[in-house]
Structure 1
Amino acid sequence: MSIFNALVHKKGANQAVQDSGFFFFTGSNVLEVELRKSVEIMLGASQIRADFICEFPARALWISKRFQNTDTVDFSHCEALEYYLKAVDTNSISIVYASENLVSPSSFMGHSFLKLNSGQGREHAVSYFTDVDTINIPKLLFDSIVTGKQGHFVVSPYLESKRFYGQVEARNIYEYHLNLSDFEVKLLTLHLWELKERRIDYYFHSHNCATITLDILGIIEPNIIQSHTAWLTPLDVVKIVNNSQFVSHSTITPSLNWQLRTYGLQLSNMQKKTYFQQLIKGNLQKLEHTKKDELFVSRYLAALNRYLLKELKISKIVWQKNQAYIDDSFYENKGLEIDVGSFKNPLNRLGDSQASFSFHANSTQSYLLVNAIPASHLVSDDNRHAFSESSLELISPTVIITKDEVKLDEFTLYGISQYIPYDPIIGGVSGYFSLAYSGFDSSRFTTESKALAVGGLGVSMQPMPAFQYYGTIGTAVVTDIKRAWFETKLEAGLIAYLKGNNKLNLSAMWRFNKNNLHQSNMEIEFQNTYSIDAVQAILFGAKYTNWSQAKSKVSLFTGYKIYF
């Protein structure tokens, strides 16, 4: 793909910017005509040339460089453009990744955007997003995937975005600083001006914040632009950009919640409560800790002190007193830093799409399950570099293949779960919710047709970094068109990371009124996921049920999974 293709956001026959005015000449999206006439205008001298420069300054600059061997274009007659350039005063550009927030539907896969850095200390965020104006998940997905939603392209002070993502939504903010020449910085800055007030439709799967970020960077390196059919996520963007050698260095601004959980990993709940009470009273005392833990303790105390101030539990005077004590007590560590570059690093996370193939067998039947998740991951996956153990399934079909037929086993429209370890200071709620359709009952090995809305809440505990257990209670609203009923579910489980890249998931579930039969039953399931590398894994496990309707009590399975 050529640079001019990237400048007009043309991908084959697909036009990513729907605004007809984005093509200067009669709204034509014929690329060859647009390029030829643009070059002709720039090589001449007319009022049309002056208008073209003001409206499409990046194209004007690129044409001057490509065909006139000069990287200087006079913008002095473009009053609004000159004001914009002086306001942003860009001398470098970064990509920002705000980590996922599973509570917010618009941010459960994270958010990526460009950041303009000024030598004067001014910083601006360049964001592309859509409004989430409904809690109706099916409608939101339909609008975002089928019809498209209105996209907003905004340049705003970066500090506002940083405060919102870091303080309000408690998300980690990763900045990847790009190694660009002065010409490239200027070209990108001018191209952002070209996109203002344009109609750019938002599609969750094919044209989102991740897509447009890569498309914009594509005017520097067209090879990083992905196909318009690719399902691209913000996490994909930072991985692609880092693999392209664009990044000179990176920085992280961790949220207070992240700091409290991370720096407090080695502290007991009793120690945390003691620190909490002493900071509240402004009366920190010398506490027992090893020399090795001093740095982590000092960072934990500083983060907890800021948290209490933010939550208005202490006054600024008390905060200052506490901080002075922390600085004096840990004076030897004042100049030291903790390298968190390899801890929960988004670059080390698995791909946001996956497919699996698993063979199941019991005393009466054997079958193959094929599952696809375009986005994003499961609790059974390796989530050590995610904020917490969680799952997210969007438009995820599972097909069952028997010796006689192929059936749709299940279709998950939207499924989410999150197991945040409870902390005595900042709390932590675990739970799940899903909207799904079931077309086959593998326990009775018979076709069915049910729609389900399932939700539950609970608590999770993490006594050590590699081990976590949880308990939830939930309910499901189920219908098979002819009738509707409620089911209840009580679940207990554990999640453990074992040696050799193995992850164990074990759960015990008590369910009442399955299939509206007014019976209770128990299911126990374990699964081990062995990660071969970053793109593939092997699965095996077993499932037991005492349900009277089940054709077999015990089934075994093994499978293979790929991430991409």
Structure 2
Amino acid sequence: SCPRLAQWMADLDPAGITLVFPESYINNPASMFGHTLLRIEQHASRSALLAPSINFSAITEESPGLLYAVKGLFGGYSGKFSKGLYVDQVRSYGALENRDIYEYTLGLSDSETRFLLLHVFELKRAAFDYFFFDENCSYQLLSLIEAARPSLDLTDHIHVASIPVDTIRQVVSLPGMLRGVEYRPSLRSNLTRKTSHLSSLQLELVAELADKGRVGNDPRWLFADKTQQAGLLDAAIDLVLYNQSAATGKNDASDPLLLQLLQARSLLPAGTQSMNNNMPAVRPDQGHGTARFSFGPGVDHSDYFFDAGFRPVLHDLMDPGPGYVDGAEVEFFSPTLRFYPDKNQLVFQQLKLLDIVSLTPGDKLIKPISWLVYIGMDQRRYAEGGDRLTGRVKAGFGGTTQMSDGLEGYCLLTGQLFFNGHFQYGLNAAPGVVGGVRTTGHERWNSVLQGESGYSLLPDAAWSWSLKFMQSLHIIRNFSLRVYVAREREFASPSTEISFSLHWYF
């Protein structure tokens, strides 16, 4: 007998296990693929928010950044299990990081639930090497579920990466394992829902309420009924909380402006809200596979070729959108080989070490920054010497706007560095601008029309430009066709490339 263990189990009062998935958070390297944790359901009739949670995370006091990402990729941190209240996880992921949360109730028996928690008790003082790609939160939680039911054999097949959404797919696909799913929208999602039906004048009123806390004798307020006033205040309160988290990374409940709005809201009728009403039609576990293989023919400046590419993770803007964060692209370590049959030549065409794009549209209330980062190498055409494999680093920031229903426009200022022995100093720099339009919200197809211009500074100053059109058609969930047409000029005369490719997700 162990008094500490007995007290620990008594405090947990376990009645079941829920696997929780906060979706990806692109501004944190450790959370770009999402996160997983466990919520302990209890026999006593209590709010799910007050239930205990089991989390596995890296132990670090560093802020997210380049060093943080590098150390996380190569096991520079230790990871530990921790127990806390689920409400703290919801506050962190849903309110501060604005990540939608999906809760998957698992079909573990009482004895399996107890054994899982006994195993957590054994491990709570242990430290493990933490790797963002494989030995991460998802891998460790799979190990816990596997310990509770050894016949599942969940971890042996993981060889390259343990992606949280793949963990969810793997677990819920097991017969009898999924009992139910609930959706907990983020603060941003709630704000979008509360303001989607408002007119431009009402949105301006919400912004004014969130800025000043009152609107005086504004006719837009005076002529609104009590229910409408309550809705406007609800939206303003969420906007204040969103602005707080965006500015400081935390919420301040003692903020006089917030208290003023809450006091005004308390004088109006209570609203009603169902947590499941706004669950997206396609959950993250129902989206396309995170790994991708592509193959297809094309022509480049009258030379025919065949491309073959592999992407271990995760999603780009031309992939099927359902189940993924709209406007977010995250790809790592993605190589492409190109074969020219007429020349009998195999070329290493491209290697994306890191490719991240965030295109989140703004509105009258929220104006997020759109940004991109690219690190890799690809073939570039030069006036002398033909194509050369060239290292490239690119970054940019700007904005995205909703032009109409299903159509977004974006524009970003960019800067690029090119690395190749062809240049006088081994490198070249090019500030520039990129902009385009993209379709959104279509389940079966995506389109992007994009133009880009830059000015090479070294050694010979010159303008470069490109115009690209991309179209994808999603046949079924894990297969899509893609067309790529580009006309561009960089370090040589203008050239045209056209390609067709089949993409298989798994």
> What is the TM-score normalised by the length of structure 1?
0.76
Q: 1:116 aligns with which of 22, 37, 40?
A: 40
Aligned counterpart, 1:255 = 186
Distance in 2, Cα, partners of 1:278 & 1:148: 46
Q: Measure how far apart 1:496 and its partner are.
A: 0.9
**The structure with more strand, counted as a fraction of residues:** 2
Which amino acid counterpart does residue 180 of structure 2 have in structure 1? H
Residue 162, structure 1, aligned to residue 83, structure 2: no
Which amino acid counterpart does residue 538 of structure 1 have in structure 2? L
Aligned residues: 475
Q: Measure how far apart 1:396 and its partner are.
A: 1.5
Describe the superposition over 1:164-209 as per-residue Cα deviations: whole angstroms up to 9, x where unpaired. Answer: 1122212122211223322122111112112222343223333211
- Verify the 8 A CA contact 1:498 1:504 in the aligned structure 2: no
Q: Measure how far apart 1:539 and its partner are.
A: 0.5
Distance in 2, Cα, partners of 1:371 & 1:269: 46
- Verify the 8 A CA contact 2:184 2:275 in the aligned structure 1: no
- Verify the 8 A CA contact 1:265 1:465 in the aligned structure 2: no
Question: What is the CA RMSD across the aligned residues, in angstroms?
Answer: 3.0
Identity of aligned residues (%): 17
Residue 234, structure 1, aligned to residue 173, structure 2: no
Aligned counterpart, 1:10 = none
Q: 1:222 aligns with which of 146, 151, 155?
A: 151
Distance in 2, Cα, partners of 1:234 & 1:500: 23
Residue 79, structure 1, aligned to residue 3, structure 2: yes
Aligned counterpart, 1:455 = 395
Q: 1:104 aligns with which of 8, 28, 37?
A: 28
Residue 308, structure 1, aligned to residue 246, structure 2: no
Distance in 2, Cα, partners of 1:228 & 1:336: 38
Describe the superposition over 1:55-85 as per-residue Cα deviations: whole angstroms up to 9, x where unpaired. Answer: xxxxxxxxxxxxxxxxxxxxxx212212321
SS at structure 2 position matched to 1:426: coil
Aligned counterpart, 1:537 = 480
- Verify the 8 A CA contact 1:127 1:153 in the aligned structure 2: yes
Describe the superposition over 1:508-541 as per-residue Cα deviations: whole angstroms up to 9, x where unpaired. Answer: 1112118854211321111111001111100113
- Verify the 8 A CA contact 2:182 2:275 in the aligned structure 1: no
Distance in 2, Cα, partners of 1:260 & 1:224: 41
Distance in 2, Cα, partners of 1:268 & 1:443: 53
SS at structure 1 position matched to 2:409: strand
Q: 2:358 aligns with which of 409, 418, 421?
A: 418
SS at structure 1 position matched to 2:361: coil
SS at structure 1 position matched to 2:221: coil
- Verify the 8 A CA contact 2:283 2:322 in the aligned structure 1: no
Which amino acid counterpart does residue 322 of structure 1 have in structure 2? R
Aligned counterpart, 2:277 = 339
Aligned counterpart, 1:428 = 368
- Verify the 8 A CA contact 1:282 1:319 in the aligned structure 2: no
Which amino acid counterpart does residue 255 of structure 1 have in structure 2? S
Q: 1:138–1:370: structure 2 CA closer, same or farther, 3 Å change rule?
A: farther
Decide which moves more: 216-225 or 374-383: 216-225
Aligned counterpart, 2:386 = 446
Aligned counterpart, 1:56 = none
Q: 1:374–1:241: structure 2 CA closer, same or farther, 3 Å change rule?
A: same
Distance in 1, Cα, partners of 2:389 & 2:300: 23
Residue 207, structure 1, aligned to residue 146, structure 2: no
- Verify the 8 A CA contact 2:337 2:347 in the aligned structure 1: yes
SS at structure 2 position matched to 1:281: coil
Unmatched segments (≥5 aa) in structure 2: 245-254
Aligned counterpart, 1:285 = 221
SS at structure 2 position matched to 1:478: strand
Aligned counterpart, 1:3 = none
Distance in 2, Cα, partners of 1:153 & 1:370: 41
Within a 5 Å distance, the mapping from 1:48-197 to structure 2 comes to 77-120=1-44, 121=46, 122-131=50-59, 133=62, 137=66, 140-141=69-70, 143-146=71-74, 149-197=77-125
> What is the TM-score normalised by the length of structure 2?
0.84
Aligned counterpart, 1:354 = 292
